Amino acid sequence: MSANIVVIYSGALRDVAEVFGEAAERLSACVRVLWVPGDERSEGGGAHPDARFGDLEWADGIAFGTLVGDGHPAAALMGSIEATEPLSSSGCLHDKVVTVFTDEPEHFAPDSVLHPICDALYHWGAVIVGPRAFELASDAQRRHGVSESGGLCLRQG
């Protein structure tokens, strides 16, 4: 079974977003890696197309990436998420599976970074997967012989 995954990032997260996208592709997902322009820290972000509402409608799963930097989500990313009000009001984003990643994936992101994003996603009616859930699932499933790819696990079959 294939899934449509969109990886949307803001700031200097191109490398992390690409790795996330490559891992999803290895799980036989159709993946779009996109960025949100408008953040002054977006070094080289233009390497990917700009995120659009249509990408969110297309996706079964969405991963949002933000820098931890100043302890808040990237302003450009938050502005983009908040602008989805017309889609969320129409129900188009209900039940989308969503997660958040940062430039420090080895650490828990501060609540001040995650809460504003998750609050907006709750209004969508999204299914929010904690940022560390993939790693924890990976550790548990590795012990039980389930296939793994890039830290993201899916049970095959």
Cβ neighbors of 8 (< 8 A, separation 6 or more) are: 34, 35, 36, 51, 55, 62, 63, 64, 65, 77, 80
Concatenated DSSP letters of 79-95: HHHHTTHHHHHHTTTTT
What stretch of H or E contains 30? strand 30-35
Q: What mean pLDDT value characterizes the chain?
A: 79
Q: pLDDT (tens digit, 9 = 90+) per residue, 78-113?
A: 999 999 999 999 999 999 999 998 887 666 677 788
In the predicted model, is pLDDT for residue 121 greater than 80?
yes
- The pLDDT value recorded for residue 132 is 57
128 backbone dihedrals φ, ψ, rounded to 5°: -95, 125
- The pLDDT value recorded for residue 51 is 94
Residue that has been written with the tokens 């609540």 in this structure: 111
User: Do residues 75 and 41 make contact, with C-beta atoms less than 8 angstroms apart?
Assistant: no
Domains, the chain, in order of start with CATH, read 4-131 (3.40.50.360)
Does residue 17 sit in helix, strand or coil?
Answer: helix
- The pLDDT value recorded for residue 104 is 72
In the predicted model, is pLDDT for residue 41 greater than 70?
no
